Amino acid sequence: MNTPISTAPVVKFTNVALGYGDFTVLQGIDIEICRGQVVAMMGGSGSGKTTLLRAATGQIAAQRGVITVFDRNLANVSGEDLRELRQRMGVLFQQGALFTDLNVFENVAFPLREHSCVSESQVTERVLDKLDAVGLRTAAHLKISEISGGMARRVALARAIVLEPEILLYDEPFAGLDPISLGITAQLIRSLTDRLNCASMLITHDVAESFSIADHVYMVGQGKLIASGTPRDLSASQDPYVRQFLDGQPDGPIAFHYPTSPAFSKWLEQHTGRP
C-alpha cells in the first residue's frame, strides 16, 4: 500500500465537467490514477461516480476539460483507437451484465475468445485460474441462473480481469457480497493491482473496505470534488460532507431526497392534471 508514484498517471482528468445533455453532474474535476495504485471514488447515491467511470472509458465525452488515458486525449481518439484503448481496460459494471445463455466458464472466456488468439488449452487454464482467484473454480460448469447474486458479481470480476488489463475499473464491486466474500474481494483488488501493476479505479460506498486497500481517495458530492487524500487524511478531515459520509449520519449536507427539477414538475403536472 501507499505505492510511491513513480510513473505518469495512466488516467488523468484536468478541470473536467461531465453530464448528460444540458445537465451537468460534476465540474472542476481533477483526478490522477497511476500504475500500482488503488484509487477509491466515493460519494452519495447519484453524486456522479458511475458517470466518472463512463468518462474514463470514453462512453461519454467531457463537457469541459481534458481526460487522458494512457497519455491519449479521449476527445481526439478515433473509434478504432478507442476500441484498442478499451482492450487495455477491464471494467466491472455496476449491473454485472453476464450472458445468461452462457455458463460461468464461457462468460469468463468470452473476452479471451473475442480479443486474443490463444489456444483452447490456454483459454481453459486462464479461465480456471481467474475463477480460482475469485473462489469459483468449481462453479465453472454452472448456468448463470444457477448461481447467487453475490456469485454472479465474482464471475463478473473474473471476466473483468481475464485479459490482465492495465487499468481496472470497478463499479460497486462489494454490492451483494457477504462479509467474508467482501473482505476477500477487497484483498483481491489490492493483490491484482500489485501483481498486474495496473491502475485500479474503485467506485464504492464501502468506507471500511475501501480505506483498507486504497492508496488515495476522492470524494464527490454537490456537483464537485469534495475531498482528495489518503484514507488517513480523510479519516482526520473535519469537512461536514466528509464526516457525514464516513460516519453515516442521517443529517448533514448530503440530502437523502433526489433534487427536484423543471422536468419533474412538468411530469407531475401532466400526471396529476394539476399545476
Between 40 and 133, CB nearer to Mg ion: 40
Does 200 bind Mg ion (CB under 5 A)? Our answer is no
Between 139 and 175, CB nearer to ligand ATP: 175
Tell me the site size for ligand ATP, rule CB under 6 A.
Answer: 11
Between 25 and 89, CB nearer to ligand ATP: 25
Select the binding partner of residue 48 from ligand ATP, Mg ion, none (C-beta < 5 to 8 A, by kind): ligand ATP
The rounded distance, in Å, linking the Cα atoms of 88 and 256 is 37
Tell me the site size for Mg ion, rule CB under 5 A.
Answer: 2
CB of 29 to Mg ion, least distance (A): 16
The rounded distance, in Å, linking the Cα atoms of 239 and 245 is 10
Does 50 bind Mg ion (CB under 5 A)? Our answer is yes
Does 35 bind ligand ATP (CB under 6 A)? Our answer is no
CB of 153 to ligand ATP, least distance (A): 14
Select the binding partner of residue 47 from Mg ion, ligand ATP, none (C-beta < 5 to 8 A, by kind): ligand ATP
Does 264 bind ligand ATP (CB under 6 A)? Our answer is no
Between 48 and 231, CB nearer to ligand ATP: 48
> Hey, which residues between 54 and 113 contact Mg ion (CB under 5 A)?
94
CB of 217 to ligand ATP, least distance (A): 15
Between 50 and 210, CB nearer to ligand ATP: 50
Between 12 and 49, CB nearer to ligand ATP: 49
User: HEC string of the chain?
Assistant: CCCCCCCCCCEEEEEEEEEECCEEEEEEEEEEECCCCEEEEECCCCCCHHHHHHHHCCCCCCCEEEEEECCEEHHHCCHHHHHHHHHCEEEECCCCCCCCCCEHHHHHHHHHHHHCCCCHHHHHHHHHHHHHHCCCHHHCCCEHHHCCHHHHHHHHHHHHHCCCCCEEEEECCCCCCCHHHHHHHHHHHHHHHHHHCCEEEEECCCHHHHHHHCCEEEEEECCEEEEEECHHHHHCCCCHHHHHHHHCCCCCCCCCCCCCCHHHHHHHHHHHCCC
Residues at the site binding Mg ion, with contacts judged by CB under 5 A: 50, 94
Residues at the site binding ligand ATP, with contacts judged by CB under 6 A: 20, 25, 43, 45-51, 94
